[in-house]
Amino acid sequence: MIAKKANYHQQIIKHLYFAGSLSCAELSILIKKSVPLTAKVLNELMESDFVLETGLAESTGGRRAQKYELNAGQVYIIAVAMDQLITRVAILDMHHNFVGDVKKIELKLANNPNALTEIISNIQGFIKASGISKEKFAGIGISMPGFIDVKKGINYSFLKTLHGESINACIENALKIPVLIDNDSSIIALTELKMGRARGKKNAMVINVGWGVGLGMILNAELYRGQNGFAGEFSHIPMFNNNKLCSCGKTGCLETETSLQVLIEKAKEGLKGGRLSGLAKDFPTGHYETDYEMIIDAALKGDQFAVELFSDAGYNIGRGIAILIHLLNPEIVILSGLGAFAGKMWEAPIQQALNKHCIPRLAENTVIEVSKLGYNAALYGAAALVMENKTIDYHPHSEKHKQKKILLIK
């Protein structure tokens, strides 16, 4: 009985988590159940402190609706966002607020057999320091780069486990909290779907322009992962006859001409070759992040060489987008990730590529936009991953709750 109904509780929690605040009538439509049933479930959720009443909605010409929200501190999520060099750990409440500070750990993923152990001990320490009891955590969501089989919980690029068990099981055993992992590009797409520009859209392509070029696909209003969770390998679609060796072992991949890494390499080459540019003075610094920022700055100031770098990369990304549009006819294409900081720089060259390589009727029906979510997108998305997949332990009539009530009465 609870088991059966718990489904609605779950759904309502999920909707409130992503929407923030909803009325009973709105929830009733979202979960496709009658208002009285929705009201009943809401009342139960309020009794067990998951949900709170938070005043009346704006008037729409009749009786004003009561609004409901999640109780921010009833459940927490641990969000972990990794890139090749830095791992961030944070605790988020049910209102997407960070609880305490975001912890930054310098953790090299490549060829680091201790990476997994380090993560575990770091998370463990982080939980202890937070002072929040373990039962309060719905789960740990981890965003990581690499070739990930989500079902099996294996990352074929990094974080090898000792005996080939799943990363999930490995961390769960140590921490006793459910773990969910996913590819960083998928996570970013999920964030765009749930709280970004893809909100409410049924089809969207989210391109994660970073040191590589990733892709997260929203198809039928869901994150699409493919048969083995490998979908979205945009980086490695064969697109050039350039004889440039890619990290994947092939040549001519999209990534060989368009990633931010390539952008920096091309900047170096160009300067060596004598190109005039405001960059010339201090470039390169030896740090990818700083180099990238310098190129953006130069481009925004109108430096021709820097602008050209973005134009070339953008045009090639545009060619890739043309392929996506032909195949998947999406409503929107969102440029996200580190590359999004270059904002407007991408727009013209991409549009140019679409004009050249896209059937007009298709291009017309697709909007191209740069993401407005910042650096925290991956953390929000890791939390969203947990809320998307985890079943929160809802026990309105469990001993624990009865106990609690008795205590309150006393």
The binder of 59, among DNA, a copy of itself, none, by C-beta within 5 to 8 A per type, is DNA
Instruction: List the one residue out of 88, 129, 117 whose CA is nearest residue 105.
Output: 88
Q: Which of residues 228-287 bind a copy of itself (CB under 8 A)?
A: 228-234, 236-238, 241, 248-250, 252
Stretch that binds DNA, among 19-27, 98-106, 271-279, 309-317 (CB under 7 A): 19-27
Count of residues engaged in binding DNA, rule: CB under 7 A: 23
Q: Is the peptide bond before 284 cis (omega within 30 degrees of 0)?
A: yes
Decide if 363 contacts 355 (C-beta within 8 A).
yes
The string of DSSP codes covering 248-305 is TS-BSBTHHHHSHHHHHHHHHHHHHTT---GGGGT---S-HHHHHHHHHHHHHTT-HH
In this complex, which beta carbon is closest to a copy of itself, that of residue 114 or of residue 228?
A: 228
Between 55 and 238, CB nearer to a copy of itself = 238
Residue 156 binding partner per list DNA, a copy of itself, none, with a CB distance cut-off of 5 to 8 Å that depends on partner kind: a copy of itself
- Partner from a copy of itself, DNA, none contacting 327, C-beta within 5 to 8 A by type: a copy of itself
The binding track of 52-91 with respect to DNA, each residue x by CB under 7 A or -, is ----x--xxxxxxxx-------------------------
- Is residue 5 involved in binding DNA (CB under 7 A)? yes
Q: Is 129 in the site for DNA (CB under 7 A)?
A: no
Binder among 48, 366, 382, 390 for a copy of itself (CB under 8 A): 366
Kindly tell me which of 9 and 225 has the beta carbon lying closer to DNA.
9
Nearest to 172 by CA among 123, 227, 226: 123
User: What are the tokens at 315?
Assistant: 């045009």
Q: What angle do CA 96, 390, 158 make, to 5 degrees?
A: 85
**Interacting residue with a copy of itself among 53, 101, 222, 265 (CB under 8 A):** 222
Nearest approach, Cβ of residue 24 and DNA (Å)? 4
Q: Among the candidate windows 21-29, 171-179, 290-298, 388-396, which touches DNA by CB under 7 A?
A: 21-29
Q: What is the DSSP string of 87-148?
A: EEEEEE-TTS-B-SPPEEEE---TT-TTHHHHHHHHHHHHHHHHT--GGGEEEEEEEE-S-E
- Torsion angles phi and psi, residue 221, rounded to 5: 60, 20
Residues 6+ apart with CB under 8 A from 227: none
Complex with DNA: residue 1 or 406, whichever CB lies closer: 1
191 closest CA partner among 210, 204, 172, 209: 204
Based on CB atoms, which residue is closest to a copy of itself, 93 or 233?
233
Nearer to a copy of itself, 140 or 204 (CB): 204
For residues 27 and 92, which CB has a smaller minimum distance to DNA in the complex? Answer: 27
**What 3-state class would DSSP assign to 325?**
helix
4 binds, among DNA, a copy of itself, none (CB under 5 to 8 A by kind): DNA
Q: Pick what 35 binds: a copy of itself, DNA, none; C-beta below 5 to 8 Å, kind-dependent.
A: DNA
At 312, list the tokens: 């070339």
Calculate the CA 38 to chain-centre distance. 30
Identify the H or E element spanning 336: strand 332-336
Whole-number minimum distance, CB 69 to a copy of itself, in Å? 32
Q: What is the dihedral of CA 190, 194, 200, 204, to 10 degrees?
A: -20
Which residue from 359, 398, 400, 405 is in contact with a copy of itself, where contact means CB under 8 A?
359
Question: What would the x/- binding string for a copy of itself be over residues 296 to 335, using CB under 8 A?
Answer: -----------------------x--xxx-xxxxxx----
Across 86-124, b (16+ Cβ under 10 Å) vs e yields ebbbbbbbbebeebeeebebebebeeeeebbeebeebbe
Residues in 134-193 at the binding interface with a copy of itself, rule: CB under 8 A: 147, 156
Q: In the complex, what is the shortest distance from the CB of residue 253 to a copy of itself, in angstroms, rounded to a whole number?
A: 9
d(CA 366, CA 207): 14
Residues of the shown chain interacting with a copy of itself in the complex, contacts defined by CB under 8 A: 147, 156, 202-203, 215, 217, 219-220, 222, 224-234, 236-238, 241, 248-250, 252, 319, 322-324, 326-331, 356-359, 361-362, 365-366
